[in-house]
Amino acid sequence: MAALDELKDYVREITEISLAAALAAWDQRTHMPPGGAAARAKVAGRLERLAFERRVSDRMGELLAAAEREGAPAEVDRALIRVWKRDHTRHRAIPPALYQKFVETTTRAESVWEKAKAASDFALFRPHLAEVVDLVREIANLIGYKESPYDALVEEYEPGLTASALRPILGELRRELVAFLKELERGTHPRELPGGKFPLDAQRALCRQALGWIGYDFQAGRLDDAVHPFTIGVAPGDVRVTNRYREEDPFSSLFGALHEGGHALYGQGVDPALAWTGLAGGASFGIHESQARFWENQIGRSRPFWQFAHPHLAQHFPTLASTDPDDVWRHVNRVQASLIRVEADEVTYNLHICLRFELEVDMVEGRIAVDDLPARWNQAMEDYLGIAPPDDAHGVLQDVHWSAGMIGYFPSYTLGNLYAAQITETAEREIPRFWDKVEAGQFSPIREWLREVVHRHGQVYLPDELVRRITGDGLSAEPFLNYVRAKYGEVCRL
């Protein structure tokens, strides 16, 4: 197994460089002073280029070919060859100098996006986004595609997925959810909870407590503030969570913590044997998102969860002590059109993804210019949700993804919703007294079940194969649609 061992050593070197870049990225988004932005862009670009050059090198190709000839009897080793061969073939088409330019451009663009969002000024961000889109188009053309340049981009996040495959999935959800929204209008809307200011320190304390409930290991991670919440693994045994807080809404930060905690549990639950192999990530971004959505929505927005969590909420926020668990459950499951994707309810959330998907495809295929994005965004919000953003910060500037060059990522959020519903159906069957455990705050059996069927496998299995192993079926929208119809029919007392 000499060839395979050499390949593993080479992969470890790449992984070590990539994790150093991840640490630099985490610092940039949490603690780096503004004056360090230009230098950090150079450092990040150099680290990413070093890793990239090794990923696409002739040496990597030789090692992969030799390992294939030698054969790999172990499933994990076969997965290592498959994943790195796909990565090598895909990215070898991109010149290292272009890749470094992409990293430097997106690093600068992300810093400018933060300023533009704070000022609600798309014009400040526009030239940087235009440069990112031009680079993304160039990269897509170099990678190659059959139908749309978007296919080359979405493949990065969801292997095998294309724009033509996404359209019917999103189309079905749009048709069904719009019809269901009309039904919900006949229902009873939850009463308002007491308002006011909810101290940020109390919110941080509750979020930290909630991460503890679900089993996030603070000895292998940390919780920090960020403009846009994210989770990042910077080393084996070090998976970090960030969150943001709004003084007028304690639930936004709580669900943000549960969401990012779901991502982090995935990272913390990967089999240690996969460390340094490049297989420690999720099977796909959609699968990873399913774990975040599971804890945020299926658990965190469930009635049994609030039977357990309500006393803790009241302890942190005395103004909510006059409420009862059912009041809070109905409140956090209100269905109403909202401007901000990350705060949208489960019924309308996928409409936000439809909007972004359609804009991304049109932008990459050259049907709309970057200058036209704010107007197109606002019109789509009116068409889909019946509301228009009052400014850029609540509209086209609300997400970090485009500044980071992550065009093609947004569909993973919808796939995560669908996978989460399918996984929950299976968990209810396989974990005895599932909802009784949630109501009692006994989350460890659920976490350990997820660790066994999802987390520990990392990228050993392709997403479709993993979902079939867990649920016995492939991707389907039906479990999600059944879930929202049953739950929100009850919430709105249809």
Active site residues: 260
Distance CA 260, CA 482 (A): 25
84 close to 62: Cβ distance less than 8 angstroms: no
Provide the residue type at 199 as one letter: P
281 close to 254: Cβ distance less than 8 angstroms: no
Distance CA 53, CA 297 (A): 40
Q: If you ran DSSP here, which 8-state letter would residue 225 be given?
A: E
Provide the residue type at 472 as one letter: G
Distance CA 191, CA 42 (A): 52
132 close to 105: Cβ distance less than 8 angstroms: yes
Of the CA atoms within 13 Å of residue 291, those in its CB half-sphere come to: 32
Distance CA 133, CA 149 (A): 12
Token pair belonging to 391? 């400014």
| Residue 242: strand pairing partners | 224
Helix boundaries (H) for 241-385: 250-269, 285-293, 303-316, 325-332, 349-364, 373-385
Q: Report the Cα 123 to chain-centroid distance in Å.
A: 27
Distance CA 67, CA 84 (A): 11
